[in-house]
Amino acid sequence: MLRTFFALFILGVATVLFVAGFRGSPSKLPPIEIFRDMDHQPKMQPQHSTNFFADGRSARKPVDGTIPLGYTVPGRYLQAGAKNGTLDSVGFANLNDYLHTGRVGDAYGDGIPVEMNAALLDRGQERFDINCAICHGMLGDGNGVVKQIANWAVVANLQDDRIRQQPDGQIFNTITHGKNTMGAYGPNIAIEDRWAIVAYVRALHKSQRVVLADLPVEKQKELQQPAKK
């Protein structure tokens, strides 16, 4: 019994060495595929022919009304750099002005270089809630869902003085290129939307440390009136 085991063992080792010895050698035979994995898939490849469709083409005409990724519908941006039907496929413009970089020369600039109005803040809130709140929290206090579930201590609290004191351009730059464990959102968020997020972050800053004197006079009077019983 023991002799049979050793004989089979030696035969197995010899077989492995024989097969391994030809690895990398040229051969006209197809390779042996023990595990095919996903090397061969029943899929349609762009620009390839197929017998499945009557016209012989694998690429299909888009459904009527389809909007290509990166383009817009009126008044709505869909992806990075998308505005007025133009496409910036990577989200990082070649222009070196403040709008596109958040920098003035070698320093970060301050100010929002797009028209500030209620619509911009609404847009900023929408984009913030979609892209940022999952980590930074709805109030920007760093208590988002990701931190609660994964217990990440590295999520930045946007209400910290360190962030509050940063120029607007620096916050824009962080959104664009990412920082530490935060990835770059430049390819995913339009330039105008990034500035809208910066404006909304500033609104969050004010909302958490607002004082009576910061409010309009009419609102101050309203809050100072005694409560009705």
The per-residue pLDDT for range 1-17, each reduced to its tens digit, is 677 877 788 888 777 77
* 185: nearest Cα among 200, 197, 167: 197
CA distances from 139 to 112, 144, 151, 213 (A): 20, 9, 18, 22
Mean pLDDT score, 193-203 = 94
In the block, tokens 């077989």 appear at 15
For the chain, the C-alpha Rg in angstroms (whole number) is: 29
- Mean of the per-residue pLDDT values for the chain? 80
Q: Which fold has domain 98-211?
A: Cytochrome Bc1 Complex; Chain D, domain 2 (1.10.760)
SS3 assignment, position 23: coil
> Can you give the residue ranges of every domain in the chain?
98-211
Residue 103 DSSP symbol: E
User: Any idea which of 40-54, 113-127, 153-167, 213-227 has the lowest mean pLDDT?
Assistant: 213-227
**What percent of the chain is modeled with pLDDT above 90?**
30
Residue 91 DSSP symbol: S
Question: What pLDDT, on the 0 to 100 scale, is given for residue 90?
Answer: 45
Question: What pLDDT, on the 0 to 100 scale, is given for residue 22?
Answer: 59
- What is the pTM assigned to this prediction? 0.60
Q: Above 70 in pLDDT, residue 168?
A: yes
Mean pLDDT score, 200-223 = 83
Q: Above 80 in pLDDT, residue 74?
A: no
Q: Above 60 in pLDDT, residue 122?
A: yes
Q: How crowded is residue 60: how many other Cβ atoms within 10 Å of its Cβ?
A: 9
Q: Above 50 in pLDDT, residue 40?
A: yes
Half-sphere CA count of 142, side-chain side, radius 13 A: 12
Mean pLDDT score, 67-83 = 48
